[in-house]
Structure 1
Amino acid sequence: MSDFLLIDDDEAFAMVLARSLARRGHAVHCARNADEALEMAARRPARILLDLNLAGDSGLRLLPALRAACPASAIVVLTGYASIATAVEATKLGAVQYLAKPAGVAEILAAFEQQAANPELPVAPQPMSLRRVTWEHLQRVLGENDGNISATARALNMHRRTLQRMLAKKPVKS
């Protein structure tokens, strides 16, 4: 089996995923930030799973350094904030695949195996609704501003009270 470097700032998620990969016979090393990731990249892992959002920093900034440190490694970007723009950018920077969370272990392993385009892959059954995409975006920007409603409203160029009303609603299912 192969050696994995898992780069994610969410410790709980990283531990669960590392345990699942280890059960399938893979050696997994975890890094929580860019410095740890580059240090562990010296081991030249065969596969690197990179979170797009690393404690407010972008995994896209780390991708070229990982590509330079481990040119033979396959890199898959995994994110809870998927967008076409970041998918295109990640691929241009050297990622072999781009997955949206939640992604199961089987899906992650399949992403590493399937590095060339495959027109036979089925299209996702139903994309996220516009309301869900809006909710996810609001949560991402709120997280980037450490939960500060006023700063988030300024970043989104909207009135603070409007944002508060939107956040008071329950999250949209899909």
Structure 2
Amino acid sequence: MKVLLIEDDQAYASVLSRRLSKYKLTVEHSENNSDALLKVRSFKPDAILLDMHLAGESGLTLISPIKHVLPFCRIILLTGYASIATAVKAIKLGADDYLAKPIDTDTLLKTLDVSDQNIATEFTHVPKHLSAEQAEWEHIQQVLRANDGNISAAARHLSMHRRTLQRKLKKRPSFISKN
């Protein structure tokens, strides 16, 4: 699998590239919007890890042009400034997934749909086209996992009141079985 990493933080990109290369993924790196579009055309990746903020530019502006050139390429938006509003906007623009930094290797490989015997944990497959409700629910679940289930910490991370988060968690979305 070929992965294009569009990230302006050189140190983070280097670490991520090394981690993915261990799983026999071919990784190329780009630091800005214009270079990224050139690499999309020449490298033709299967998946793109796209940083939300690229040295003063928005990574969101790349989603439509990338989908135009490679309509079946998976685009996974990475951000250190996660919010439900940007998650919904990214999904509406055509991103396939939205992950908050820092991200662990297992979650990243699962999101890329990389099947490897070294990955023993199971996960629920997230559909390629998420509704706004699904994107919000997935984002909340990811933030909760990142905060070890601590609702107060997750609420702070999401910039919402703890009770609001609790209400959202009680309203189990219709796409999730209630078993």
Larger Rg: 1
Kept in 1, the 8 Å contact 2:77–2:98? The answer is yes
- Taking only the aligned residue pairs, the percentage that are identical comes to 39
Matching residue of 1:24: 23
Structure 1 residues 94 and 20, CA gap change in structure 2 (3 angstroms) = same
Structure 1 residues 45 and 121, CA gap change in structure 2 (3 angstroms) = same
Written as runs of structure 1 = structure 2, the 5 A alignment for 1:111-122 is: 111-113=111-113, 114-116=125-127
TM-score by length of structure 1 reads 0.69
Post-superposition shift, 1:101? 0.6
Partner of 1:63, secondary structure, is: helix
Kept in 2, the 8 Å contact 1:96–1:115? The answer is no
Letter in 1 for 2:7: D
Is 1:128 aligned to 2:154, yes or no? yes
What 5-or-longer segments of structure 2 have no aligned partner? 114-124, 160-179
Matching residue of 1:99: 99
Matched positions, count: 132
Structure 1 residues 57 and 68, CA gap change in structure 2 (3 angstroms) = same
Q: How far, CA to CA, are the matches of 2:93 and 2:139 in structure 1?
A: 23
| Runs of 4+ residues deviating >4 angstroms | 117-122
Written as runs of structure 1 = structure 2, the 5 A alignment for 1:12-161 is: 12-42=11-41, 43-113=43-113, 114-116=125-127, 123=141, 124=144, 125-126=149-150, 127-130=153-156
Matching residue of 1:137: none
Q: How far, CA to CA, are the matches of 1:22 and 1:37 in structure 2?
A: 19
Structure 1 residues 129 and 29, CA gap change in structure 2 (3 angstroms) = same
Kept in 1, the 8 Å contact 2:99–2:139? The answer is no
Kept in 2, the 8 Å contact 1:79–1:100? The answer is yes
Kept in 2, the 8 Å contact 1:51–1:79? The answer is yes
Is 1:7 aligned to 2:6, yes or no? yes
TM-score by length of structure 2 reads 0.67
Structure 1 residues 120 and 76, CA gap change in structure 2 (3 angstroms) = closer
Q: How far, CA to CA, are the matches of 1:34 and 1:44 in structure 2?
A: 16
Structure 1 residues 19 and 64, CA gap change in structure 2 (3 angstroms) = same
